[in-house]
């Protein structure tokens, strides 16, 4: 084999390796981008769910003149859409049973790190004069700049869901 043929063969092999590397890079980049987009879509669903839940809680209040109690209180008094023991009861069931919502929304991932939670507090807790509830998205998959508002003189509830979103409504 001549030197010229060896150079052509080496060039051909180098081009082949470069092409395969480029294709693999594009595939990996596509997968990573797709995962990022899916996470953003799930975060948008979380925000839409929370708006719907908050509106449903306000309808419940208008109809019954109070907010629903937390049903199972297994997360330090919080009622959550994720139940580690498999218990399926949640504060949303009351809204569904009263036909205020058509379905029970859950976090798209709905595990110990990503779920919705609700807790109703009586007047006087953490220095708040009126009773209130806190509704939270526990965690977003992406970094969010707006984490909502929920606080009393002695407690900022946003700290309990630092990469989530918090809503506080007083009775």
Q: How far apart are CA 104 and CA 56, in angstroms?
A: 11
Name the residue ranges covered by the structural domains of the chain.
Answer: 42-170
Structure tokens at 95: 């809204």
Structure tokens at 1: 């084999």
Nearest of 87, 108, 98, 8 to residue 56 by alpha carbon: 98
Output the pTM of the full model: 0.80
* pLDDT value at residue 144: 85
* pLDDT value at residue 18: 74
Residue 119 DSSP label: E
Nearest of 77, 101, 81, 100 to residue 91 by alpha carbon: 81
Beta strands in the chain (DSSP E): 79-80, 116-121, 132-137, 148-149, 151-152, 155-156, 165-170
The one-digit pLDDT tens for each residue of the chain (171 residues) are: 777 776 677 677 777 777 778 777 777 777 767 788 899 999 999 999 999 999 999 999 999 999 998 766 666 788 888 877 666 667 788 999 999 999 989 999 999 899 999 999 999 999 999 999 999 999 999 988 899 999 999 999 999 999 999 999 999
């Amino acid at each position: 084999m001549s030197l010229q043929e060896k150079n052509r063969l080496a060039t051909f092999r180098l081009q082949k390796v470069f092409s395969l590397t480029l294709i693999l890079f594009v595939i990996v980049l596509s997968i990573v981008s797709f995962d990022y987009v899916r996470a953003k879509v799930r975060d948008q669903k979380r925000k839409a769910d929370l708006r719907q839940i908050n509106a449903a809680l306000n309808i419940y209040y208008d109809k019954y003149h109070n907010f629903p109690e937390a049903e199972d209180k297994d997360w330090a008094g919080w009622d959550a859409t994720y139940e580690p023991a498999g218990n399926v009861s949640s504060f949303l069931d009351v809204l569904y049973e009263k036909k205020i919502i058509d379905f029970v929304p859950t976090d798209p991932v709905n595990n110990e790190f990503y779920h919705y939670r609700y807790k109703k507090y009586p007047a006087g807790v953490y220095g708040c004069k009126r009773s209130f509830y806190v509704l939270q998205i526990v965690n977003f998959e992406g970094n969010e700049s707006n984490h909502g508002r929920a606080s009393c003189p002695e407690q900022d509830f946003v700290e309990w869901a630092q990469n989530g979103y918090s809503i506080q409504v007083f009775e």
